């Protein structure tokens, strides 16, 4: 046997031993009286590694859910993965049994990327509880009104930026929400352009969006790979993780708000896409604003109870293109039974994007309205979008109020229409999202212009208005 072959077989043998050890120590390996939930047939040792899709995984999970049911079992190198395919299953396990399912997986990627400080990713326990409690004290429904002037100020700055350079939509959305969060949480006033903190928020969100997807990086399931040098073929992940870790360390001085910034950015970006694809929705919303707000002022938070259709648009934006289609992973801390199946201790559970509404691909705010009021009988999509149980996002009320004021104000003064090509024909647009832990609309063409001379005047007048608290 050649030296080259021997040198190759040694690490392979070590790898096999490690995989067997993980398999034998995993709770799901030992016999139980209850069966595991159904799912794709795993391979020996590897499990379902080769079944995990690399792009738009929630599409595959939806297909599997139709075949196997709303609770599925996968195995990745000995790690049990539970995929929840319905809000009912998620509510039963993650909400009603939150004492068992509120933990987070011990993630190699979280550690390598330096995200241990982020309480959304912390394991459930004595470090997480006081951190979340402190955050909740500043963002529960009874106190978020104190941030309204900051939200108004940044929304109106957003209008001015859109008027000046409408071709930079995504940049302006990032800036608007980054500036709002930095002021509200830390009292940081950002510059009108090229602010270092806003740029850092945008940059730091890219790592988790790409990394925290099941099967994206094998090092998550084989931690020994973390010791492979970056120059070794196939170890290119080391350079990516090093870059993302540097971003995380730099961000540590302004913590907690990355998830909210990325979430609201993607949701508002999807709103602009929806307005191009569904012009009748835009016209109906503008008619409501014209009738209830009028042409002489901009909407404010006092208008929120009466703007039923705008509130329905906010809900539909949360539902239509779920920006976190797999949610954040939960970990079970004990064996548990559901529908006659065993969910082993240490399982990682997540919810794929469920289609629980009629005509789910259509953008239809009307689905949330009945007899001129918001219909409480229809499931509120925020109950899916913001998580479950003890790990529900504590900043959800702040995020929804930010979405409301931005959507209402933009629709009041701007028309959002398809772009026109050089030949004078409308450029077609499709509703497509990127793949990742956080999913964003694929870049699309558009045209944004003031609805009227009076609307443009309202925008320009905001530079003279002191709306800061």
Cβ(226)–Cβ(116) below 8 Å: no
Cβ(273)–Cβ(431) below 8 Å: yes
Residues 6 or more apart whose CB falls under 8 angstroms from that of 347 comprise 28, 80, 81, 82, 331, 332
Q: Count other Cβ atoms within 10 Å, centred on residue 66.
A: 11
- CA-derived radius of gyration, the chain: 24
Does 393 appear as a known binding residue? yes
> Locate tokens 């504590």: which residue?
394
Q: Count other Cβ atoms within 10 Å, centred on residue 46.
A: 15
Q: Count other Cβ atoms within 10 Å, centred on residue 52.
A: 18
Torsion sign, CA atoms 322, 325, 330, 332: positive
Residues 6 or more apart whose CB falls under 8 angstroms from that of 86 comprise 65, 70, 354, 356
**Element spanning 414, H or E:** strand 414-417
d(CA 54, CA 436): 9
Cβ(154)–Cβ(176) below 8 Å: yes
Structure tokens at 234: 């196939």
End-to-end CA distance of the chain: 77
d(CA 274, CA 430): 10
Structure tokens at 226: 């973390």
Question: Which of 183, 226, 214, 227 shows the shortest CA–CA distance to 201?
Answer: 183
Cβ(269)–Cβ(215) below 8 Å: no
Cβ(342)–Cβ(34) below 8 Å: yes
d(CA 110, CA 245): 9
d(CA 388, CA 139): 17
Give the residue numbers of the binding site: 393
Give the residue numbers of the binding site for heme: 393
């Amino acid at each position: 046997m050649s030296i080259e072959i021997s040198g190759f077989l040694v690490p392979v043998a070590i790898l096999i031993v490690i995989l067997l050890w993980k398999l034998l120590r995993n709770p799901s390996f030992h016999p139980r009286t209850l069966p595991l939930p159904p799912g794709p047939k795993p391979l020996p040792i590897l499990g379902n590694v080769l079944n995990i899709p690399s792009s738009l995984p929630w599409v595959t999970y939806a297909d599997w859910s139709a075949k196997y049911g709303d609770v599925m079992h996968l195995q990745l190198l000995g790690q049990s993965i539970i995929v929840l395919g319905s809000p009912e299953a998620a509510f039963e396990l993650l909400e009603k049994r939150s004492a068992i399912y509120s933990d987070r997986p011990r993630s190699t990627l979280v550690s390598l990327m330096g995200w241990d400080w982020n309480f959304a990713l912390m394991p459930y326990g004595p470090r997480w509880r006081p951190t979340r409690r402190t955050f909740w004290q500043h963002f529960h429904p009874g106190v978020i009104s104190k941030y309204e002037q900051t939200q108004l100020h940044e929304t109106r700055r957003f209008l001015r930026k859109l008027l000046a350079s409408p071709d930079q939509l995504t940049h302006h959305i990032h800036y608007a929400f980054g500036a709002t969060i930095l002021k509200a949480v830390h009292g940081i006033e950002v510059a009108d352009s090229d602010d270092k903190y806003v740029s850092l928020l945008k940059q730091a969100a890219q790592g988790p969006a790409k990394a925290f997807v099941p099967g994206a990086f094998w090092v998550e399931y084989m931690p020994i790979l973390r010791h492979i040098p970056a120059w070794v073929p196939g170890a290119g992940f080391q350079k990516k993780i090093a870059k993302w870790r540097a971003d995380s360390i730099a961000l540590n001085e302004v913590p907690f708000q990355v998830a909210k910034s990325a979430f609201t950015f993607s949701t508002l970006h999807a709103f602009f896409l929806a307005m191009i694809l569904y012009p009748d929705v835009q016209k109906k919303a503008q008619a409501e604003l014209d009738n209830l707000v009028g042409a002489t002022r901009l909407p404010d938070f006092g208008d929120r109870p009466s703007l039923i259709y705008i509130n329905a648009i906010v809900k539909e934006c949360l539902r239509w293109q779920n920006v976190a289609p797999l949610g954040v992973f939960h970990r079970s801390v004990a064996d548990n039974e559901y529908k006659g199946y065993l969910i082993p201790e240490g399982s990682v559970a997540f919810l794929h994007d469920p289609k629980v509404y009629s005509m789910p691909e259509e953008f239809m705010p009307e689905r949330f309205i009945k007899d001129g009021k918001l219909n409480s009988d229809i499931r509120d999509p925020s109950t899916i979008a913001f998580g479950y149980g003890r790990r529900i996002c504590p900043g959800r009320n702040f995020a929804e109020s930010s979405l409301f004021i931005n959507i209402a104000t933009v629709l009041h003064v701007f028309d959002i229409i398809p772009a026109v090509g050089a030949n004078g024909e409308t450029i077609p647009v499709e509703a497509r999202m990127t793949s990742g832990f956080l999913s964003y609309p694929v870049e699309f063409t558009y045209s944004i212009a003031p609805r009227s001379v009076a609307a443009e005047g309202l925008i320009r007048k905001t530079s003279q208005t002191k709306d800061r608290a």
